Amino acid sequence: MLGLSQPDVSRLLRGDFREYSLERLLRLLTALGPDVDIVVRQSSSANGGRLRLAGGETR
């Protein structure tokens, strides 16, 4: 389904993304079925931006 070997899937599940571009990671994610939304907005903090991942189940 993803075109990855079992060791590659295991590395991804452990959070080892170094060998993958953002584009490839997004393609892998969408191949599993969910929609992917990326939102960029102005930071409200003087210390810079932050990264937030949100997951939810659509019923």
Residue 6 in tokens:
């079992």
Four-residue CA torsion sign, 7, 12, 17, 22: positive
pLDDT for the residue numbered 8? 93
pTM: 0.57
Q: What residue ranges do the domains of the chain occupy?
A: 1-59
Under a CB-based contact definition with an 8 Å cutoff, are residues 29 and 55 in contact?
no
Give 26-54 pLDDT, tens digit per residue: 889 888 887 878 888 888 888 888 877 77
pLDDT for the residue numbered 10? 93
pLDDT band, very low/low/confident/very high, at 24 (cuts 50, 70, 90): very high
How far apart CA 19 and CA 21 sit, in angstroms, is 7
How far apart CA 15 and CA 10 sit, in angstroms, is 9
How far apart CA 28 and CA 37 sit, in angstroms, is 14
Q: What is the mean pLDDT of residues 12-16?
A: 89
